[in-house]
């Protein structure tokens, strides 16, 4: 076996975002020898970028709010494709997890009575998001980070985990490389918690950072675990679109939560035209009611500006297609005419700053130009709802990398709470599992084979530039696996992905192994292309439109598909896709959701329902 340093732990947590940190704190607290590994420096994970808030039915602003309403909103927002048990646990436990952050030093914005203030967000019936201005993720990650450091938990920073090691079908550890030195490192561990986040960097217009290359999903799949719902990708309706260098950067939903509204090029508040049947009873059909709703939720229905993200993203897409878009192919988001300047600056300081510095736009005076951006993936590693266990022994997954919780569409704010609830559960279950698990054996042949794959790009002949392949991949996914999909395009995407894969095998890396981003990207390409293929194949299989997955050739939700997950497995190196039934919602919970099913969904072109102005 090659000379590689080995670190031995009970539980290795891969990822230092909210999910990973929370999992590590729990596993350590339960007595397991725990390490956290992350690709960036500690405190820089995606979670730091989260803006709007954490959803939890604390009932501080609206006493009517409770876990049942949160559960209902989550299930409806997810178009009933959610794993009901995850949605239930999430809604029940989120308040405790938020309050726990306060015990660890977090300082949320306050109500007049000194409690945690909550703000409105899309798809949530009541103002529910605990927040700190528009930098909630920073508060959350720093609180968890400081708490973790105070517990003395080992952290491996700028260390990329590349493959999981297995021992007779169960997890035995992982192989990683240090970004700084390029040296390889072996983790021997009975349990691994994957908390690596999503795969947004496969798309051109995205709010995601370089870290989102689908590593956790790819490693789990390779080790024999199941993925589900990979066709369910979330396009956030409001990303920046101008200038080109900031295209995709997120504009928080908090802008709409705090009173902002969408307008097309001629100033029309177009969302009133796009209220789907499924949400009609609870959505205002005129501007006056929508505006009153901010102040009085009991007597008014919610503004359609705050419909779930999939609806709003599709509506924007339709407006632009119909020629009612802005100069740069988006629509306007206006808060300037609707709220006073000092309110905007106080509630949305980083948005103010971001537009001022990067786009020369003063959002207290001018409208923002925005359009959809790939933001999140609802699909991922299939887990047990109570323990976050993946489908192979010793493997756990929490956070964006895991699937089930959000169904076909995630509500804003439900991710940060998801990280805490299921991060904790994963850490707890992993620590419990290692107590009863026998020692794992590291298979030298496996290690050697993986080590070889890691250093191959330096040695093989080839002429391809990894950056060029990555750019082409992003074009392919943007053009062919975007908001609106159809059979021919998905098939074309698969053909292009095959060509990209063969080009990626001819990448040659120059320079040394020390902090070499070209090498890192060459390795990442394998995961990016692999997961892009799973998304495209799953999208081809699901012949209906639901949530984050819209098929132009199958524009309606199909009740039959509404009971199925698309499952992806890898057997003997080949992908196998099937469908499996979603666990049925027990009757007492079913009642909370309401009986109507999402059906009326129109994918493209003209609005689904004409209401309001027209």
Partner 1 sequence: MKIWRGEGSAGEHVEYVVPIDAGMVVLDVVHRIQATHAPDLAVRWNCKAGKCGSCSAEVNGAPKLMCMTRMSEFATGEAITVSPVRTFPLIKDLVTDVSFNYEKAKTIPPFKPKPKDPDGKRRMYQEDVDRVQEFHKCIECFLCQDVCHVIRDHEENKPSFSGPRFFVRLAALEMHPLDTNDRLDLIRAKHGLGFCNITKCCTEVCPEDIHITDNAIIPLKERVVTAQYDPIAWALRRIRRTGPALPAPSVPPSKEPPSA
Ligand X SMILES: Cc1cc2nc3c(=O)[nH]c(=O)nc-3n(C[C@H](O)[C@H](O)[C@H](O)COP(=O)(O)OP(=O)(O)OC[C@H]3O[C@@H](n4cnc5c(N)ncnc54)[C@H](O)[C@@H]3O)c2cc1C
Local structure of residue 303 (DSSP, 8 states)? P
Report the C-alpha gap between 189 and 443 in whole angstroms: 13
Asked if 150 interacts with partner 1 (CB under 8 A), we say yes
| Partners of 11 in the β-ladder | 34, 191
- Asked whether 171 and 49 are in contact (CB, 8 A), the reply is no
Report the C-alpha gap between 92 and 85 in whole angstroms: 10
CA dihedral 83, 85, 91, 96 (to 10 degrees): -130
Asked if 101 interacts with ligand X (CB under 6 A), we say no
Active-site choice (125, 128, 236, 424):
236
Strand boundaries in 66-215, DSSP class E: 118-119, 129-130, 154-156, 159-167, 170-178, 184-194
The alpha carbon dihedral of 438, 443, 444, 446 has a sign of: negative
Among partner 1, ligand X, none, what binds residue 559 when CB lies within 5 to 8 Å by partner kind? none
Asked if 160 interacts with ligand X (CB under 6 A), we say yes
Cis upstream peptide for 243 (omega within 30°)? yes
Q: How far is the CB of 264 from ligand X (least distance, A)?
A: 25
How remote is the C-alpha of 171 from its chain's centroid?
25
Q: How far is the CB of 353 from partner 1 (least distance, A)?
A: 7
Among 12, 54, 138, 363, binds partner 1 (CB under 8 A): 138
Task: Give the strand pairing for 34-37 and 5-14.
Answer: parallel
Asked if 118 interacts with partner 1 (CB under 8 A), we say yes
Asked if 238 interacts with ligand X (CB under 6 A), we say no
Binders in 250-279 for partner 1, by CB under 8 A: 250, 258-259
Task: Give how many residues touch partner 1 by CB under 8 A.
Answer: 81
Asked if 161 interacts with ligand X (CB under 6 A), we say yes
Q: How far is the CB of 501 from ligand X (least distance, A)?
A: 19
Among 7, 115, 183, 577, binds partner 1 (CB under 8 A): 115
Helix pair 444-459, 517-541: axis angle to 10 deg: 110
Looking at the Cβ atoms of 369 and 489, the one nearer to ligand X is 369
The alpha carbon dihedral of 552, 557, 561, 564 has a sign of: positive
Asked if 50 interacts with ligand X (CB under 6 A), we say yes
Asked if 53 interacts with ligand X (CB under 6 A), we say yes
- Asked whether 365 and 336 are in contact (CB, 8 A), the reply is yes
Binders in 514-543 for partner 1, by CB under 8 A: 514-519
Closest CA to 604 of 321, 236, 305: 321
Catalytic annotation present for 302: no
Binders in 51-90 for partner 1, by CB under 8 A: 60-63
Which range in 12-20, 315-323, 437-445, 464-472 contacts ligand X by CB under 6 A?
Answer: 12-20
Catalytic annotation present for 542: no
Among partner 1, ligand X, none, what binds residue 356 when CB lies within 5 to 8 Å by partner kind? none
| Partners of 262 in the β-ladder | 333
Q: How far is the CB of 55 from ligand X (least distance, A)?
A: 7
Asked if 326 interacts with partner 1 (CB under 8 A), we say no
Looking at the Cβ atoms of 132 and 420, the one nearer to partner 1 is 132
- Residue 24 CA: distances (Å) to CA of 101, 148, 170, 400: 15, 8, 20, 16
- Active-site amino acid positions: 236, 256
Residues near ligand X, by CB under 6 A: 14-20, 37-40, 45-47, 49-53, 136-137, 160-161, 195-197, 207-208, 211, 215, 250, 376, 399-401, 412-416, 419
């Amino acid at each position: 076996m090659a000379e590689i340093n080995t670190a031995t732990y009970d539980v290795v947590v891969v990822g230092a975002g909210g999910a990973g940190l929370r999992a590590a704190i729990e596993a350590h607290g339960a007595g397991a020898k725990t390490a956290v590994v992350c690709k960036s420096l500690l405190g820089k994970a995606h979670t730091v970028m989260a803006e709007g808030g954490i959803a939890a039915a604390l009932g501080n602003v609206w006493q009517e709010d409770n876990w049942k309403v949160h559960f209902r909103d989550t299930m409806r927002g997810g178009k009933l494709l959610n794993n009901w048990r995850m949605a239930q646990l999430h809604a029940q436990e989120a308040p405790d997890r938020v309050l726990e952050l306060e015990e660890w030093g977090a300082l949320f914005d306050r109500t007049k009575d000194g409690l945690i203030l909550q703000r409105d967000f899309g798809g949530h019936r009541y103002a529910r998001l605990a927040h700190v201005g528009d930098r909630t993720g920073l508060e959350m990650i720093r609180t968890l980070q400081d708490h973790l450091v105070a517990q003395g938990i080992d952290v491996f920073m700028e260390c990329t985990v590349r493959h999981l090691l297995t021992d007779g079908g169960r997890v035995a550890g992982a192989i990683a490389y240090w970004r700084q030195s390029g040296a390889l490192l072996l983790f021997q561990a009975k349990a691994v918690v994957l908390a690596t986040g999503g795969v947004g960097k496969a798309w051109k217009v995205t709010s995601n950072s370089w870290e989102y290359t689908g590593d956790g999903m790819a490693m789990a799949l390779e080790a024999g675990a199941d993925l589900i719902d990979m066709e369910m990708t979330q396009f956030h309706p409001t990303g920046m679109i101008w200038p080109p260098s900031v295209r995709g950067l997120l504009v928080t939903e908090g802008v709409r939560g705090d009173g902002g509204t969408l307008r097309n090029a001629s100033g029309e508040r177009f969302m009133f035209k796009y209220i789907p049947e499924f949400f009609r009873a609870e959505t205002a059909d005129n501007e006056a009611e929508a505006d009153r709703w901010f102040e009085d939720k009991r007597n008014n229905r919610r503004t359609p500006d705050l419909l779930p993200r999939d609806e709003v993203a599709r509506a924007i897409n339709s407006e632009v297609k119909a020629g009612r878009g802005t100069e740069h192919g988006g629509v306007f988001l206006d808060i300037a005419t609707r709220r006073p300047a000092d309110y905007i600056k106080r509630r949305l300081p980083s948005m103010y700053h971001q537009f001022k510095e990067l786009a020369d736009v003063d959002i207290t005076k001018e409208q923002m130009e925005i359009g959809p951006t790939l933001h999140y993936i609802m699909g991922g590693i299939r887990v047990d709802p109570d323990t976050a266990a993946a489908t192979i022994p010793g493997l756990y997954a929490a956070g964006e990398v895991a699937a089930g919780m959000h169904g076909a569409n995630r509500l804003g704010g439900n991710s940060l709470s998801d990280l805490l609830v299921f991060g904790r559960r994963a850490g707890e279950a992993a620590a419990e599992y290692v107590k009863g698990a026998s020692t794992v054996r590291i298979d030298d042949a496996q290690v050697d084979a993986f080590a070889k794959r890691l250093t191959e790009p330096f040695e093989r002949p080839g002429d391809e530039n990894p950056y060029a392949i990555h750019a082409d991949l992003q074009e392919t996914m943007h053009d062919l696996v975007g908001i609106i999909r159809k059979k021919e395009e998905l098939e074309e995407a698969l053909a292009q992905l095959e060509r990209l894969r063969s080009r990626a095998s001819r990448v040659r890396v120059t320079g040394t192994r020390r902090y070499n981003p070209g090498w890192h990207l060459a390795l990442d390409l394998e995961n990016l292309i692999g997961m892009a293929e799973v998304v495209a194949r799953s999208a081809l299989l699901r012949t209906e439109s639901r949530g984050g997955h819209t098929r132009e050739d199958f524009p309606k939700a199909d009740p039959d598909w509404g009971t199925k997950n698309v499952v992806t497995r890898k057997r003997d190196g080949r992908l196998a896709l099937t469908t499996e039934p979603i666990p049925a919602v027990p009757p007492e919970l079913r009642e909370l959701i309401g009986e109507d099913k999402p059906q009326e969904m129109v994918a493209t072109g003209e609005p689904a329902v004409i209401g309001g102005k027209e």
